């Protein structure tokens, strides 16, 4: 219950009223008590970050503490809407991590910033809600895991389709063997990223462009680069992101790994059909679809240790909703799972299951994260699942760039007997933005 003037006066008069008190007055920095208010801050409040931060602040157990964004105006605008004081608005994420009253952080920066923010926040004992994909490289995931386990934080990956009740029990349908033995899975074909070479434009007032580039050697500012999906946006460029392979792939492949019960593992082999991808360099604003068409080849598929093969399909009838799901082929028929929908052939397989699970409810993805911070439990999109699906996406793109089949050891998280492929698992950070040594 929020502390209003009315219930404050009731409490002062000796009436027993439950309320929340600030987290900062308690010694335990990890798990709040039932009546403690959780101090939350946001790092990166663009298109997605502002939305999830606003949603978190609707929770009465939460106290909005601070906002950070490299574009000062954007940070100030979000802070004003969320009633965050002006002196709690920053452009440097380290100021957020240093605050003792910040218990948990939501971050939705471009992918090239993920590892630095996550590792340092985790080492400081801050619980994390991280938009997907949670890594830019495989090595990023290894370091994030080490840091998070060291301090025992609650880590929620922003794979919000997991919190869709229908998706939850549709994946359970597959996982519990209701379709019989799975013989094949068909996913969407996701595009790998290409290279940036656009000329510079005037930097907007209040935008720290050098800091936006962060771990990456700075490139000229261009408005199209500054947005996630433009003509094209940062999501499509190799220096900053993993293309749609990680953009949509961490939705669709996440549904696959969850349905198959492989949240904590990955493929053992990647297959490539076609000549290797030589990604283009875009030196002027161009329709994103041009690069997507070029970087959707060669075709790739992969196999798990139990023999299940996942094939990525170029079926052009699939829309963006279908790209966040997959088709499962089993002994008893086929099932397609997309956000908020489950269909099957024969039809009655899905219909009977949906009737059986009518009324199935789940908290929102944000609420689940907050619940788990209080309970000290793993959330529905916990860290390992987010790291593993991002790694699957990364190694698919690496195979596409190299143009050959690759064997993968999901336990060691490295390619088997392929030194060249293993050089693609990490990237150097520029001076001043290095990752901690763990």
pLDDT in tens, 162-193: 999 999 999 999 999 999 999 999 999 999 99
DSSP string, 401-438: HHTS-EEEETTTTEETT-HHHHGGG--PPPTT-PPPP-
Residue 305 CB partners (closer than 8 Å, separation 6+):
265, 268, 410
- Are the C-beta atoms of 135 and 387 separated by less than 8 Å? yes
pLDDT > 90 in the chain, percent = 87
d(C-alpha 126, C-alpha 93), whole Å: 13
Helix ranges, 237-331 (H)? 243-247, 249-259, 288-294
d(C-alpha 194, C-alpha 400), whole Å: 12
Under CATH, which number does the domain 18-161 receive?
Answer: 3.40.50.720
d(C-alpha 78, C-alpha 27), whole Å: 30
pLDDT in tens, 196-232: 999 999 999 999 999 999 999 999 999 999 999 999 9
Residue 390 CB partners (closer than 8 Å, separation 6+):
132, 133, 134, 135, 141, 242, 246, 250
pLDDT in tens, 323-368: 899 999 999 999 999 999 999 999 999 999 999 888 889 999 999 9
Strand, coil or helix: 221 = coil
d(C-alpha 45, C-alpha 69), whole Å: 6
Residue 246 CB partners (closer than 8 Å, separation 6+):
111, 132, 133, 190, 390, 393, 394
What are the φ/ψ torsions at residue 127 (nearest 5 degrees)?
Answer: -65, 150
Per-residue pLDDT tens, the chain, 438 aa: give them: 332 323 323 333 333 333 344 444 333 446 777 668 999 999 999 999 999 999 999 999 999 999 999 999 999 999 999 999 999 999 999 999 999 999 999 999 999 999 999 999 999 999 999 999 999 999 999 999 999 999 999 999 999 999 999 999 999 999 999 999 999 999 999 999 999 999 999 999 999 999 999 999 999 999 999 999 999 999 999 999 999 999 999 999 999 999 999 999 999 999 999 999 999 999 999 999 999 999 999 999 999 999 999 999 976 445 566 789 999 999 999 999 999 999 999 999 999 999 988 888 999 999 999 999 999 999 999 999 999 999 999 999 999 999 999 999 999 999 999 999 999 999 999 999 999 999
Residue 245: other Cβ atoms inside 10 A: 27
Give the single-character DSSP code of 66.
E
Sorted by where each begins, the domain ranges of the chain are 18-161, 162-364+382-425
Q: Output the pLDDT for position 4.
A: 31
d(C-alpha 176, C-alpha 12), whole Å: 54
Rg of the chain on CA atoms, in Å: 22
Lookup result for tokens 């999501």 = 235
Residue 253 CB partners (closer than 8 Å, separation 6+):
187, 310, 326, 389, 392, 393
Quick one: which of 205, 206, 238 has its CA closest to 219? 238
CATH 3.30.450 fits 162-364+382-425, yes or no: no
């Amino acid at each position: 219950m929020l502390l209003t003037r009315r219930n404050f006066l009731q409490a002062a008069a000796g009436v027993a009223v439950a309320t929340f008190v600030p987290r900062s007055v308690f010694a335990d920095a990890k798990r709040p008590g039932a009546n403690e208010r959780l101090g939350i801050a946001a790092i990166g409040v663009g298109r997605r970050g502002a939305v999830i931060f606003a949603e978190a602040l609707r929770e009465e157990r939460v106290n909005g503490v601070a906002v950070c964004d490299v574009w000062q105006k954007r940070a100030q605008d979000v802070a004003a809407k969320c009633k965050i004081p002006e002196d709690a608005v920053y452009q440097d994420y380290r100021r957020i991590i240093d605050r003792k009253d910040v218990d948990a952080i939501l971050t939705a920066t471009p992918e090239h910033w993920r590892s630095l923010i996550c590792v340092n926040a985790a080492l400081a004992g801050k619980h994390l809600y991280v938009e997907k994909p949670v890594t830019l490289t495989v090595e990023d995931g290894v370091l994030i895991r080490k840091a998070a386990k060291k301090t025992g934080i609650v880590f929620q990956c922003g794979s919000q389709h997991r919190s869709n009740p229908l998706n939850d029990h549709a994946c359970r349908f597959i996982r519990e063997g209701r379709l019989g033995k799975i013989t094949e899975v068909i996913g969407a074909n996701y595009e790998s990223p290409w290279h940036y070479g656009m000329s510079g434009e005037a930097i907007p007032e209040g935008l720290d462009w050098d800091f936006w580039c962060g771990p990456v050697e700075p490139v000229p500012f261009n408005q199209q680069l500054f947005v996630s999906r433009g003509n094209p946006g940062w999501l499509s460029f190799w220096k900053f992101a993993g293309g749609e392979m990680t953009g949509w792939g961490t939705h669709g492949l996440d549904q696959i790994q969850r349905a198959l019960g492989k949240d904590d593992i990955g493929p053992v082999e990647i297959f490539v059909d076609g000549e290797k991808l030589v990604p283009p360099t875009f030196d002027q604003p161009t329709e994103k679809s041009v690069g997507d068409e070029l970087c959707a080849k060669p075709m790739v598929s992969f196999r798990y240790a139990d023999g299940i093969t996942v094939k990525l399909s170029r079926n052009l009838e699939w829309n963006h909703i279908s790209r966040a799901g997959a088709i499962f082929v089993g002994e008893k028929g086929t099932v397609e799972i997309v956000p908020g929908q489950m269909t099957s052939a024969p039809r009655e397989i899905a219909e009977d299951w949906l009737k059986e699970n009518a009324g199935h409810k789940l908290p929102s993805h944000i609420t689940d994260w907050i619940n788990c911070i209080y309970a000290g439990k793993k959330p529905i999109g916990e860290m390992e699942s987010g790291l593993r699906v991002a790694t699957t996406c990364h190694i698919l793109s690496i195979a596409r760039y190299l143009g050959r089949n690759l064997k993968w050891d999901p336990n060691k998280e490295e390619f088997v007997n392929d030194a060249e492929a293993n050089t693609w698992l990490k990237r150097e950070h520029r001076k001043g933005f290095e990752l901690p040594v763990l």
